[in-house]
Amino acid sequence: MAVALVLVLVVVGSVLFHLLSPWWWTPIASNWDYIDHTIIITFWITGVVFAAVVLFMAYCVFRFRHREGNRAAYEPENKRLESWLTIVTAVGVTALLVPGLFVWSRFVNVPSDATEVEVVGQQWQWSFRLPGKDGKLGTSDTSNVSAENPLGVIAADPNGQDDVVVEAADLHLPVGKPVKMLLRSIDVLHDFYVPEFRAKMDMIPGSVTYFWFTPTRTGTFQVLCAELCGQGHPLMNGVVMVDTQEDYVAWLGEQQTFAQLSAPQQTGSADPAAAGTLAPGSKISAKLETVEAR
Amino acid sequence: MSVILVFLLVVVGFVGWWLSHQRLMSKPWLEQGMAGDFVALDRSALPTAKIGLGVFLAVVGCLFALFTSAYFMRMALSDWQALPLPRLLWLNTGVLVLSSVALQCASVAARRGQLETVKLGLVTAGITALAFLVGQLVAWRELSTEGYLLSSNPANSFFYLITGMHGLHILGGLVGLGRTTAGAWNGARPERLRLGIELCAMYWHFLLFVWLAIFALLAGWAATFIDICRQLLT
Amino acid sequence: MVDITPADAVPPAEVGEMELYHPHSWWTKYVFSQDAKVIAIQYSATATAIGMVALVLSWLMRLQLGFPGTFDFITPEAYYQFITMHGMIMVIYLLTALFLGGFGNYLIPLMVGARDMVFPYVNMLSYWIYLLAVLVLVSSFFAPGGPTGAGWTLYPPQAIMTGTPGGQDWGIILMLVSLILFIIGFTMGGLNYVVTVLQARTRGMTLMRLPLTVWGIFTATVMALLAFPALFVACVMMLFDRALGTSFFMPAIVEMGEQLQHSGGSPILFQHLFWFFGHPEVYIVALPAFGIVSDLISTHARKNIFGYRMMVWAIVGIGALSFVVWAHHMYVSGMHPYFGFFFATTTLIIAVPTAIKVYNWVLTLWRGDIHLTIPMLFALAFIVTFVNGGLTGLFLGNVVVDVPLSDTMFVVAHFHMVMGVAPILVIFGAIYHWYPKVTGRMLNEALGQFHFWVTFLGAYLIFFPMHYLGLVGLPRRYAELTDMTIMTESAHHLNSFISIMAFIVGFAQLVFLFNLIWSIRHGREAGGNPWRATTLEWQTSETPPVHGNFGKELPIVYRWAYDYSVPGAKEDFIPQNVPGSFGTSKEPA
């Protein structure tokens, strides 16, 4: 009796929790509401199955609990029933899979008008590189990384000279334009993740990964690292600001290009913030020390 | 990961074949009483130890298939520089073949009850296997003096890793062979001795096969072979 | 009805009597024993002991997550060491060792009607190598720099770099060596379990008469034998990278402004190898649980397991399929995106046989005679948590849904529910079920009720709400959940609640341990077959079974393992070794 009741309560409680939970996804800021819809479909199908199975179980426990003189039925199998259940399950699974694959193909096929933006992860900060006037990113290699060239841009590549380098600072993106995020890392695995954009992808040292999205509303969004990358992992935050076109252009104008950064006369007048980031991760290291000193 | 998947496909095929003889479609609740009619299903007529070794060899095969998979995946990256195989490896291969043949002879002799031939075969197999190991070590030395160091290129790393792993398995086999040989001298029961020799022979043949596959892999023939297959398919 | 031979015409056991070893001293009887039952208890005790360490580690983690900033000694470094060791111990050293080394060793020979495992000496070695692996693992707590903090997945390059605790100290090396030892030891044991099922079954015990417990453990062992080599290869190669400077997995790296020696390696290669092991590992833990829970439900509902054949096929099918789904752990790893289509499809296909198993469990309850004993309660709780965790698997397996949810608390909640809580509930149920056979006494019922309700409801309250933290977007493996805009005040409260529940559930396990020890002497006498079960382990002449398991002659099997409530039979169960037919067993329409 009590057991059946508890099983029912588990179902009712779970459903109520789902409906009343204040913990729900953040308001979306990208075109990936398809993903949210797929999750909703999945919630419906799985929720119904969960409730059905557990309630059926509760009924069995209540109805067929042991009482003096009871005897179980003898039923080795029931082919018809089993086939039906298999078919219904297969249909349910297909209903989950098909929309999922459909959205996935959108996710992996980048529209041709997407602008490329490079994100470079390192322990434990984010840097960015945007194509300059030529609209192309120059090539880069981790073995070129040095204090003067923190992203390892290959100087010999003319495409790279006018690239805008944003080192350990906020990234700005224009609203409503698709962007292809090219993801690189110069040390360990990281994962560029903005909860409001829904998309994420690991960054692997030695290769370039990507995902794309279109920001759909302006605002300031926090970047989190979603792949354990050492002890500074939880502190590896960044900021993406989605701007209107005018604000974006204004911001872009203030940024320095690779050529400007690597020109020797510039180093003397470099602002202290930039000097502070020459040793990558030093800020986090300092932070970690304070954490440990607590 | 294609190599390991092909390997597993073979394992699955074998398991499937075996299961298909186990009457998995039968309805056990209808079959009360002694299973006299299907007593042959109960267990294999092979000695249990052989089946045990067979399962173990499947695990070893899986291990080397995985190394091969990793080899091909790493090979596809840009910094791969194949290393020249020392000619000594040919000699080593010959020695290992000899070792296998000697054990096969011992196994045949054991079946006929010729104890002297058995002893000769066992000792030859042991010595040649040891010679193979020494030969492998010499090949390692040769390569490292020529500057092909373990960590200088992934091709080198794989060479040392895979040959080393194979050598360790031979070394393990030598323990078993040593015990069997001691048994031959100390007058172990003939059927026990025979089983021991057959187990050793099985293990030796398998490791010879693995070595030939590794050799083909390290020499680059395996890659060429796969390329040809791929071209034939497309 | 197919009655093959009359009962009394049966010749005596045809199985060649195996040469049992005979222990001569206390040491060879209880310590260096070759008796599978003693080895099983050694395995179980060691696994439980190291599991308690992992439990304490989880408490420490929950302290930090639930009450951030309160406990100074849990630095981020320590936190990552705790999660790594917690995960690794629970998955490998507790669950795998307990299901296969513990239950496998105890139940396989008894259930198939064998005197012992077929290679007892190797079986003994298996345990001692396992113990060595555990000791090496424990030693890393005392090594300079402490244990590794790379997460249980040990992803390179970070696992062997300075930014990760233990990466350039002893931690990672000891971890890898311990895993390598574990795999060697396991392979020795695994050979035994497989070959014993193949070769040592007693007369009449055809494959289709095996209890599902044996089917589950057998299939899981076969899978483990084929999957563990992948971890072995990954560990050896990483050890080379760490100790000898090779570049299997290590690309060119700039660490803290300095170029490292490595170049060109592929971290993804490691991930493929790891998950080629790691995914089957999930089923290596799940399949024995599936098997055991089938037997628990059938026995305590006094009804044959519904759709036995389908259950067997599903176990074998899941086992085979689980080798082609590994990359669903890598949807956002940066591997070729088109793999996603293939792996999402295979992953969702595997849901079908799994669902069939669930249906058959609940259909076994239907029109049963359900005794709500403690093993049965745990079996019911298993179904609830497994269905819950399995269904959230459909979120994560469906590639695009995984994108926002992967690496969040949703994943943590999912895998704890499906391969943490669910199998452990089965382990508890199984212990309550077989303890009387192992010790001759019943576990205390009142303590058992307390243990069950706290564990089941507590664990559900821990992990069900945790999914919703993942929906919010909270990443997993964060030592601090403070600097985040998405982290609300209410989410902090939820975290504190989860932590408190974790302490309560952990405490209940201490009660359980007390019960285990107390009942050895003070439990109610059980008799040989307290649950009135059909399988062979309950038909031994002595309880606990002595060395050699069965008396002078091995039992002969006349029927399948599920003859409960056969119409026409006097009792509501007919043991497998009882000859003759009772009433009708015509297939109902």
**Residues on chain A touching B29 (C-beta within 8 angstroms):** 76
Q: Is residue B154 part of a domain?
A: yes
Chains near C with 3+ CB pairs less than 8 A apart are A, B
Instruction: Provide the 10 A C-beta neighbour count for residue C503.
Output: 15
pLDDT for res B40: 46
- By DSSP bridging, strand C2-3 and strand A209-213 are unpaired
Name the stretches of chain A with pLDDT < 70: 264-294
Which chain A residues are within 8 Å of B27, Cβ to Cβ?
76-77
The order of strands in the sheet holding A179-185 is A164-166, A125-130, A115-122, A179-185, A209-213
pLDDT for C20: 66
Q: Which of A263, C413, C191, C233 is nearest to B68 (CA)?
A: C233
Tell me, yes or no, whether B163 lies in a domain. yes
Cα–Cα distance for residue pair A276/C181, rounded to 1 Å: 46
Task: Assign residue B128 a region (left: φ > 0; alpha: ψ between -120 and 50; beta: otherwise).
Answer: alpha
In chain C, what residues touch A97 (CB-CB under 8 Å)?
344-345, 348, 398
Within-domain flag for B170: yes
Kind of pairing between the strands at A171-174 and A238-243: parallel
* Sequence letter at residue A44: W
Residue of A nearest to B29 (CA): A76
**Chain C residue closest to B13 (CA)?**
C320
Task: For residue C439, count other CB atoms closer than 10 A to its CB.
Answer: 18
Query: How far is residue A157's CA from residue A120's CA, in Å, rounded to a whole number?
Result: 18
Nearest of A94, A91, A58, A17 to residue C387 by alpha carbon = A58
Joined tokens for residue C498: 């989860």
Q: Considering only alpha carbons, which residue of chain B is nearest residue C581?
A: B32
Q: With contact defined as beta carbons under 8 Å apart, do B122 and B79 qualify? A: no
Instruction: Choose among B195, B156, B163: nearest CA to B179.
Output: B195
What letter does residue C587 receive in the DSSP assignment? P
| Cβ neighbours around C60 below 10 Å, total | 18
Q: Give me the residue from A32, A42, A76 closest to C398, CB to CB.
A: A42
Asked whether C20 and C116 are in contact (CB, 8 A), the reply is: yes
C393: nearest CA partner in chain A:
A46
Residue A268: its pLDDT value, please?
A: 44
Do the chains contact at B30 and C263, CB–CB below 8 Å? no
How far, in Å, CA of C363 to CA of C360, rounded?
5
Interface of C with A in 208-247 (CB under 8 A): none
DSSP character for A149?
-
Q: Which fold has domain A115-264?
A: Immunoglobulin-like (2.60.40)
C-beta atoms of C206 and B32 within 8 A: no
Structural domain containing residue B94: 83-233
Contact list in B for residue A77 (CB cut-off 8 A) is: 27
| Mean pLDDT value across chain C | 91
ipTM here: 0.94
Rounded Cα distance between C373 and A146, Å, is 68
Q: By the CB < 8 Å criterion, does A272 face chain B?
A: no
Residue A107's pLDDT is what?
92
C-alpha A2, offset from chain centre: 43
pLDDT at C234: 96
Q: How far off is chain B from C244, nearest CA to CA, in Å?
A: 7
pLDDT in tens, chain C (589 residues): 344 443 433 344 444 555 666 777 888 888 888 999 999 999 999 999 999 999 999 999 999 999 988 888 899 999 999 999 999 999 999 999 999 999 999 999 999 999 999 999 999 999 999 999 999 999 999 999 999 999 999 999 999 999 899 988 899 999 999 999 999 999 999 999 999 999 988 888 889 999 999 999 999 999 999 999 999 999 999 999 999 999 999 999 988 778 888 888 999 999 999 999 999 999 999 999 999 999 999 999 999 999 999 999 999 999 999 999 999 999 999 888 899 999 999 999 999 999 999 999 999 999 999 999 999 999 999 999 999 999 999 999 999 999 999 999 999 999 999 999 999 999 999 999 999 999 999 999 999 999 999 999 999 999 999 999 999 999 999 998 887 888 888 999 999 999 999 999 999 999 999 999 999 999 999 888 999 999 999 999 888 898 888 888 888 888 899 999 998 888 889 999 888 776 554 444 3
Domain-located, residue B221: yes
Asked if the Cβ–Cβ distance from B74 to C269 is below 8 Å, we say yes
Tell me how far apart the alpha carbons of residues C390 and C357 are, in angstroms, rounded to a whole number: 12
Q: Where in chain C are the domains?
A: 32-248+269-539
* Of C251, C340, C400, Cβ closest to residue A205: C251
**C399 in Cβ contact with A100 (< 8 Å):** yes
Chain B interface includes C10 (CB < 8 A): yes
Please give the Cα distance from C98 to C434 (Å, whole number): 14
| Domains: count for chain B | 1
Residues of chain B contacting A, Cβ within 8 Å: 27, 29
Q: What is the 3-state secondary structure (H, E, C) of C395-461?
A: HHHCHHHHHHHCCEHHHHHHHHHHHHHHHHHHHHHHHHHHHHHHHCECCCHHHHHHHHHHHHHHHHH
Helices C339-365 and C308-321: angle between axes, nearest 10 degrees = 160
Contacts of C390 (CB under 8 A, 6+ apart): C351, C354, C355, C358, C418
pLDDT in tens, C455-493: 999 999 999 999 999 999 999 999 988 878 888 889 999
Task: Give pLDDT tens digits for B118-174.
Answer: 999 999 999 999 999 999 999 999 999 999 999 889 999 999 999 999 999 999 999
Q: How far apart (Å, rounded) are the C-alpha atoms in residues C219 and C318?
A: 9
At residue B35, the pLDDT reads 55
The alpha-carbon gap from B28 to the nearest alpha carbon of chain A, in Å, equals 9
CA distances from C485 to A26, A180, C227, C425 (A): 10, 24, 41, 37
C187 closest CA partner among B195, B13, B58, B176? B58
Contact B177, B125 (CB under 8 A): yes
- pLDDT value of residue C9: 38
Architecture per CATH, C32-248+269-539: Up-down Bundle (1.20)
Min CA distance, B51 vs chain A (Å)? Answer: 34
C-alpha of C481 from chain center? 31
| Cβ proximity of C464 and C400 under 8 Å | no
- Which of C10, C199, C269 lies nearest to residue B48, judging by beta carbons? C199
Tens of pLDDT, residues B197-226: 999 999 999 999 999 999 999 988 888 888
pLDDT at B25: 84
Q: Specify the domain boundaries for CATH 2.60.40.420 within chain A.
A: 115-264
Rg of chain B, C-alpha, whole Å: 22
At B62, the pLDDT band (50, 70, 90 cuts) reads: very high
Q: What angle do CA C541, C543, C544 make, to 5 degrees?
A: 125
Rg of chain C over all Cα atoms, to the nearest angstrom? 24
Which helix H or strand E contains C504, and what residues bound it?
A: helix C489-522
3-class DSSP state for residue C508? helix
Which pLDDT score is estimated for A264? 61
Name residues 274-313 of chain C within 8 A of B (Cβ): 276, 304, 308-309, 312-313
B58–C320 C-beta distance less than 8 A: no
Interface contact C544, partner A, CB < 8 A: no
B222 domain residue, yes or no: yes
> Is residue B198 domain-resident?
yes
Whether the CB-CB separation of A187 and A211 falls below 8 Å is answered with no
Q: In this predicted structure, what is the pLDDT of residue A266?
A: 45
Q: Which chain C residue shows the shortest CA-CA distance from B30? A: C1
Residue C5 touches partner B, C-beta closer than 8 Å: yes
Residues 6-65 of C with CB under 8 A from A: none
C372–A78: do the CB atoms touch at under 8 Å?
A: no
- Window 421-480 of C, Cβ < 8 Å to A: 457, 460, 464-465, 468-469, 471-473, 475, 477-480
Q: Give the residue from B72, A205, B74, B71 showing the smallest Cα distance to C259.
A: A205
Q: What's residue C300's pLDDT?
A: 95
For residue B119, give the CATH number of its domain. Answer: 1.20.120.80
**Quick check: is B10 in a domain?**
no
